[in-house]
Chains A and B, each alone.
Chain A
Amino acid sequence: MPTWKGIRDAWSRFWFLPADPTTLGLMRIMTGCIVLYVHLAYTLELGEFFGPSAWMTQQTANRERLEQPVFVPPIGWQQQGTPPRLPDLPHRRTAVIEFLGRLADNPDQRIKELVFLSTLFQNHAERRPFFDAYAALTPDQRATLKQQITDKSAMTIMPLPDSFKQLSTDAALRNLHEADDLIPLLGPSPGAGYVLDWFRDLDTAERFKVLDFIRELPASTKERAKIVDYLDFWNTDPRLTYTQGKTVFSPWFHLQDSTSYRFVHAAVLIVIFLFTIGLWTRVTAVLTWLALLGYIHRAAPVMFGLDSVMSVAMLYLVIGPGGAALSIDRLRARFRAARALTEAAGKPVPWAEAVLAGPRPSSVANITLRLVQIHFCLIYASTGFTKVKGPTWWNHSAGWMSLVNPDFSLVHAQWFESLMHALAESRVVLALIMAGIVAFTIVLEVALPILIWTSLRPYLLIGSIFLHSGIAFMMGLTPFGLIMMTLLLAFFPASVVRQAPAWMIRRGGPITLKFNPADAGQLRRANRLRALDVAGMVTLQPGTIKAMDEVDLWSLAILRLLRWVPGGRVIARMLLGV
């Protein structure tokens, strides 16, 4: 029987046990590269995706941002309100909206004017033709008709329908007066007919809903117009919404001229670059995340799965110490530590020794990695279980549809189309291949969230890398595949992540260097070398030599890497004098 203490300890172990942040460092570099690439790719398309005349124009995007309706079901069992049904054809819809705009301010007056409409389509099919004919009469003709009804004289203007003939004189006249009230509201032809068509086409419940809506409109003309305009644009009554608008932001909602948005974009690229290399990471991570969200929020029509997953990765890199390893920040900390050690002149400096020994494990790093792991599992579970609901995954055609998808797949290449053609020649072979694709995808996506926590983890990681590599190659979604694999890194032990760069760095072999502590220049270079010596390959010995050995220094892998960076030799010369 699990105890409260046991549960609490297990929870603490899972979430709060300090973890090596090196994995997060590698995730930062990969995420930074992908985010930087994506934003570099925007550079030639700023106006098309984010400018005032973008696919979603600035005006439209702002209207959506501020007005989009949000609904919420009632807390209790009462029914959720629904808006009145309007026509879909634009000219008919316009007529109905204009009709609603002509309603009287006074709700009682409004109801009075609509009495005839509310009964127009009840019981007698002949009432509509009669009303149409009556509405077409001139006011004088209508007066004459009423007079003839009052006098019970011959109907010379138009015949009355049978249902009228059974009415008393007063009732018949009342009907005509009610019709008189309605006629000016309906407006000129053909709009009047569209309004009547609309009302007739609604079923009884929908008609009552329309009448209720009209009755409950406010007396203020301005407020009424606002509601009707909202109904027209958003197809709902604003009073039925829980709230309106979206909690999104972006400079692209506000920037108007191309100079300013190029300036903002350039600044964003610089910030992302700084985040990628891990300089001032705590600040640049937040700025990169906000910048990323700003682009995503502005241009919904061109965003896809890659952007969703990039948001996930960036959020967690804001939370976690992504700059605590494999970063310029880390190098700077090592420089500070080396300087402190030198200044201490042989006395122990525990914090400096700790810094130079490697990134400090932290609970926040563990929390972040766990959050990434669980989020990844939820992504897989959601997509896997939803696929299980899809008929095309059951009948295996989803595999084929993915392979010949004209938008995504390689089928646009002639050789691939020919390959698909060759495969399709044999139904049996094709069926086996499609079954394999579908089974692999679904089994992996459904099983990974559960089995990843067992000893099967390595196999699932390999399977997942295989899946995303396949998606990247076959469907061209390379950045998406890379960002998913970046999240997958959270499942790799930090030791594995550290081994790869350490292997590369250690290839140079150990080096022993002498330096003269009395020479200020050599002392400074010795400090810097110790800071750069991330793999612990250099032993520094105080001595009396005149200069440090240039050849040996270049054998350090980190300096070899610097040679490939533009300006790297200059940096190395500035730092170490090599």
Chain B
Amino acid sequence: MIDPSLEPPVDPRRLIPPFAMGLGLIVVAMMLGVLSTSTGVDGPRVLLCVVGLVAVGSAVAARPESSAGWLTSVVGCGLAYAGIPESWDSFKLVVAVLAGVSLIGLAIVAMPERFRWMAASLLIVLHLGGIVTAITGEGDQPWLFSQLFARGYRPYLQFTNLNTAYHFFAPNPGAPNELWFGIEYDTPDPDKRFAWVVVPKRSDSHDPLWNSYYRRIKIPEFASPASELIVPLATELQELGELRDPPERDSNYVPHHPKLPAGQQLLVPNVAIQKLVLPSFVQHIAAANERSGMPIKSIRVYRVQHDYVMPEQLVGAADDKGKPTRQISPFDPTTYLPYYLGTFDSAGKLLPGPDALRWWLIPILAKDDAAFQPQRFRELSDTDYERSFVDHVQRQAGSAGYRKGR
């Protein structure tokens, strides 16, 4: 029974060309794979499959009530799965998902109206169950939801990017972080020997709504072991301490931060950061900062925790003896806590040999006579900066990272 208030469906004969073209392109992609073993045809094969699938999808969308259309889509996806080369394996996943969606579409179109109600209800419940599973997925996940996630929902939620717990500024606003990369070039020219890259930096944003800046804020978080505090084995801890504080200290010795507890002065990055994140970041920095005729000698990396300034610091409230303290700007150098993560080559490998300060906090401290209004801080000249602060990063790296990189 055709509802007269509905637009007449597209004539099925008009859909034959897009279906035929789509399937034809996909078959050509398959044949290319059979006839050529060269990886040079991989790109064209993917393109043919994508265009073919779009053509088939357009035809299905033109007449979604047709089970023949959905069936053709399933066949098209099956052929495309074979047509996509192995070097584009992640696209095989997309095609498999599209095939699954087509099968569901076929089933829904083929089933009687009253069963569609049940099928739709089931899909709704399953989908919302997945969202609840994702929301409970951070922190202490209940056993039930961990099972549901790992054994059931994980592929779906990962594919759709719905595996998020939506903990915006929760349970607490996270501490801001920066990454400082000190690049040393192999050149006799002392002015060109060092370059610093600070991430994030507002001036790196290219769009009026600062979107690319906000993206860069996430980069240091990736290298921050906030969720997993590593306690090294006893001998490792001893070695780290002995290297850090040798019995005989020369002028390059970097003191501990006088106000932070010992537990906050050494932060060991987890293995994922050591093995996955840092090498990748360093390779990127090396590639993005290539200079002709000046090979990169080394790249020092600092993960910098940028502490919040609390109201009493901002106004320079009196201490317990009634003496006013120094007013501190939110961007005061002492609010930056740089943890040295090591020195790498341009391939992202740690330079061999002991590195006494690796994973230790390298403090930036104010001298006793550093007294100026926080608002004035930004106007400080290099000379004033050096007169007011002891920047051990600058001393350790041989160049001023904090100021030069921004």
Contacts and interface: CB of A to CB of B under 8 A. Distances in A.
B217 A304 contact: yes
A407 B336 CA distance: 13
A57 to B, nearest CB: 5
B309 interface: yes
Q: Which of B210, B215, B230 has the most CB of A within 10 A?
A: B215
Given A55-B284, A302-B216, A293 B161 contact: yes
A248 B90 contact: yes
Given A75-B147, A251-B91, 4 more contacts: A88-B233, A235-B270, A304-B215, A424-B315
Contacts of B167: 382-383, 386
Contacts of A246: 158
A311 interface: yes
Contact of B94 (A249, A355, A430): A249
Contact of B219 (A73, A251, A302, A424): A302
A254 B90 contact: yes
Contacts of B279: 60
Contact of B166 (A49, A383, A400): A383
A517 to B, nearest CB: 23
B162 interface: yes
B284 A54 contact: yes
A280 to B, nearest CB: 7
A85 B217 CA distance: 32
Contacts of B106: none
Contacts of A234: 271-272, 275
A49 B168 CA distance: 23
B272 A315 contact: no
Contacts of A108: none
Complex A-B, nearest 9 residue pairs according to Cβ-Cβ distance, in ascending order: A390-B171, A72-B150, A282-B61, A53-B287, A386-B170, A249-B90, A424-B311, A201-B233, A302-B215
A485 interface: no
Nearest to B378: A414
Contacts of B187: none
Contacts of A247: 93, 154-156, 158-159
A300 B168 CA distance: 17
Contact of B61 (A54, A283, A360): A283
Interface string B62-83: 0010000000000000000000
Nearest to B233: A201
A351 B206 contact: no
Interface in A356-395: 360, 367, 371, 374-375, 378-379, 381-384, 386-387, 389-393
A245 to B, nearest CB: 10
Contact of B146 (A72, A200, A351, A354): A72
B236 A374 contact: no
A130 interface: no
Contact of A202 (B46, B202, B233): B233
Nearest to B6: A351
Contacts of A306: 211, 214
Contacts of A48: 284, 288
A387 B169 contact: yes
A424 B94 CA distance: 54
A44 interface: yes
A430 B121 contact: no
A234 B276 CA distance: 9
B151 interface: yes
A397 interface: yes
Contacts of B171: 386-387, 389-391, 393
Contacts of A12: 117
Given A201-B235, A398-B172, A408-B217, A351 B4 contact: yes
Contact of B147 (A73, A290, A425): A73
A305 B212 CA distance: 13
27 contacts: A55-B284, A57-B280, A60-B279, A65-B90, A71-B150, A73-B146, A73-B150, A75-B147, A88-B230, A88-B274, A89-B240, A90-B274, A201-B236, A233-B271, A234-B272, A293-B159, A300-B222, A301-B218, A311-B160, A351-B7, A371-B127, A382-B165, A398-B169, A398-B172, A407-B200, A414-B375, A421-B375
A41 B135 contact: no
Q: Which of A350, A351, A371 has the most CB of B within 10 A?
A: A351
A573 B311 CA distance: 63
Contact of B215 (A49, A87, A235, A424): A49
Contacts of B216: 302
A375 B173 contact: no
B30 to A, nearest CB: 18
B8 interface: yes
A407 B235 contact: no
B135 A296 contact: no
B384 interface: no
B218 A304 contact: yes
B24 interface: no
B124 interface: yes
A63 B349 CA distance: 17
B209 interface: yes
Contacts of A360: 5-6
Interface string B212-238: 101111110010000000101111100
B115 to A, nearest CB: 14
A42 B158 CA distance: 22
Given A89-B240, A246-B158, A60 B209 contact: no
Contacts of A402: 169, 173
Interface in A480-534: none
Interface in A68-91: 70-73, 75, 85, 87-90
A308 B164 contact: yes
Contacts of B93: 247-249
B120 interface: yes
Interface stretch (A138-146, A166-174, A471-479): A471-479
B41 interface: no
A210 B207 CA distance: 53
B313 to A, nearest CB: 9
A311 B161 contact: yes
B397 interface: no
A237 interface: no
B219 A301 contact: yes
Contact of A418 (B5, B271, B375): B375
A37 B217 CA distance: 19
Contacts of B270: 235
Given A70-B150, A421-B314, A367 B172 contact: no
Given A379-B166, A382-B166, A250 B236 contact: no
B331 A87 contact: no
B372 interface: no
Interface in A133-189: none
Contact of A367 (B6, B120, B234, B309): B120
Contact of B172 (A201, A392, A420): A392
A379 B166 CA distance: 6
A411 interface: yes
B234 A201 contact: yes
B314 A424 contact: yes
B25 interface: no
B394 interface: no
A407 B215 contact: no
A223 interface: no
Interface in A547-568: none
Nearest to A409: B330
Contact of B308 (A72, A290, A297, A404): A404
B405 to A, nearest CB: 15
Q: Which of A307, A374, A407, A411 has the most CB of B within 10 A?
A: A407
B158 A397 contact: no
Given A311-B160, A378-B132, A382-B166, A407 B173 contact: no
